[in-house]
Chain A
Amino acid sequence: MLEIRWHSRAGQGAVTGAKGLADVVSTTGKHVQAFAFYGLAKRGAAMTAYNRVDDQEILNHEKYMNPDYVFVIDPALVYTTDVTINDKPETVYIITTHMSTEELIESQPKLQGKNVHTVDCIKIAQETIGRAIPNTPMLGAFMKVSGMYDIEFFKESMKRILAKLPPKIVDANMLAIQRAYDEVK
């Protein structure tokens, strides 16, 4: 069982990202689950979304999770929420920030000794998509860090999932995914 927890603000696309990832993974024959804690779902409020992936049918409906990966797609959440809650020694972090990994860990001591990767999904999204929607770049970074799928296969799959959007936006998302894949450290 692979388990992922997303830290996001409502409106940044974590739920869409989690569902998009689940959709791609499902096409490879695995079982998936994607869900979120909405709370009062005010735009801008801190929220969490979740993915489970397994070879077996997923029966567990606990919201509680010891994640294998933690995605943080809003830089400030590293300071205003505990992104390390219920983690385990091998948990891998991918965090959106304009800082280097070392600067980030220095600014948030809770991340010391953890396996932390950084990428500026906000900047990438602004420069490619034109809006601060950091969900698809985070998935590009995840493909690099996890080696889960070949990036070309992943982009093709995401094209199908985003097909409802105008072609220009789909292309911009592909650029964003590729840039985050290339830039994650």
Chain B
Amino acid sequence: MAEKMELRDIEVWDGNMAASQAMRQVQIDVVAAYPITPSTPIVENYGSFLANGYVDGEFVMVESEHAAMSGCIGASAAGGRVATATSSQGFALMVETLYQASGMRLPVILNVVNRALAAPLNVNGDHSDMYLGRDSGWIQFDAYNPQNAYDLNFIAFRVAEDHEVRLPAMVHQDGFLTSHTAQGVHTLDDDTAYSFVGDFKPMNDMLDLDHPVTHGVQTEEDWHFEHKARQHHDLMTKVFPRIQAAFDAFEKLTGRKYNIVETYNTDDADAVVVCMGTAVETAVEVSNELREEGKKVGVIGIRVIRPWPYDQLLDALKGIKAIGALDRSSPNGTFGMLYNELAGTVVNGDEKKVLTNYVYGLGGRDLLKSQLREIYAELLANAEAGKPTTPLQQLIGVRGPKISFH
């Protein structure tokens, strides 16, 4: 039986420690992992918990991230609680197996510490790997600070393992900006944390020898589409109610309230930025300061990236005249993902909104409060004019002459 760990009510943890402590508290049966910066400490911390008797499950050290997720898939199909962690190139190497996990409806939890994708090689945080996973059929949660990284792990296990859902889930946090930044984290004691997620309840598990099942089958044009359609259907209809229920239960337990779409200063706002990760919090600070100057600006943070929160965003954007979509990933030949998703979200609405795109922070480039102030000034001008007053896409914080398109 695993030892219990005494935690203080508030621990000063970085995002990696927060994630690994949550993984310890839910008592995972199998972690198969291959460490990579900046998520390495998640795997290291977890290995140390195991070596010191705080974890009962198995820890499998494998030779690559492809093997890590493959091991997770096998263990999950066998009928256990399973999780791992990765970043960047490791995530990219995992991509093939990500689609296997979701297509086989295996509730694996993957902590993704977001980092840029090479070339050029870069270990710092941007959202390239997170964006790479967005069509993989996984649920994607996004943390803005170490507290979120801790809390969203419990939510992710509870939602993913729900028999109505049975889909894998990623918990994202910003490389270094969250993963290596120590902040106060309100903890749950081991029993409370475990009870919130509960015992793992197997479904179609391969080790249930009385009820043999097949995983990882081949289907050609006869059935492939039906499988994919059912998976998409479940993502579109079954996941949000379960996430909302988990958020409600979590708020009741801890007092900490999460929303599928987070809104700050958006009531009566003329202009908002929509962003993810630590940028959300920095933008909230800037919008608080601008509110004191009488400027009607707010922030919308995407908490759940997949499934895409269409209804929640339509609601959050009501009355808002100008939107800045802030993408921390190179779109490489088009608009940023958030711009495109938001365009698809608002285009059929009754209200005319001006939507522009900002690409920022690639490879860990700092997002400055002064840059956010400039973005808000442009968005307010767009709101006033009722049309774009700037190019539709601008790269901010990059050296040399201003780069913009359209």
Contacts and interface: CB of A to CB of B under 8 A. Distances in A.
B279 A35 contact: no
Interface string B172-183: 001011001111
Majority secondary structure of chain B interface residues (helix, strand, loop or mixed): mixed
Interface string B365-377: 0111100000000
Interface string B333-369: 0000000000000000000000000000000001111
Contact of B12 (A23, A59, A62): A23
B108 interface: no
B369 A33 contact: no
B180 A59 contact: no
A61 interface: yes
Interface stretch (B80-88, B280-288, B323-331): B280-288
Nearest to B146: A33
B367 A62 contact: yes
A58 B278 CA distance: 11
B118 interface: no
Interface residues of B, number: 23
Given A58-B183, A60-B281, A60-B285, A32 B369 contact: no
Contacts of B177: 35, 61
Contact-residue bracket for chain A:
20 to 34
A43 interface: no
Interface centre among B177, B181, B281 (most CB of A within 10 A): B181
A129 interface: no
B15 to A, nearest CB: 10
B10 interface: yes
A63 interface: yes
Contact of A33 (B123, B176, B183, B284): B183
A61 B278 contact: yes
A-B pairs, 6 with minimum CB distance: A61-B278, A35-B181, A59-B281, A59-B285, A34-B182, A23-B12
Interface of B: 10, 12, 14, 123, 174, 176-177, 180-184, 278-279, 281-282, 284-285, 288, 366-369
17 contacts: A23-B12, A23-B182, A26-B10, A26-B12, A31-B183, A32-B12, A32-B182, A34-B12, A34-B181, A35-B181, A35-B182, A38-B176, A40-B123, A59-B284, A59-B285, A61-B177, A62-B369
Interface of A: 18-19, 22-23, 26, 31-36, 38, 40, 58-64
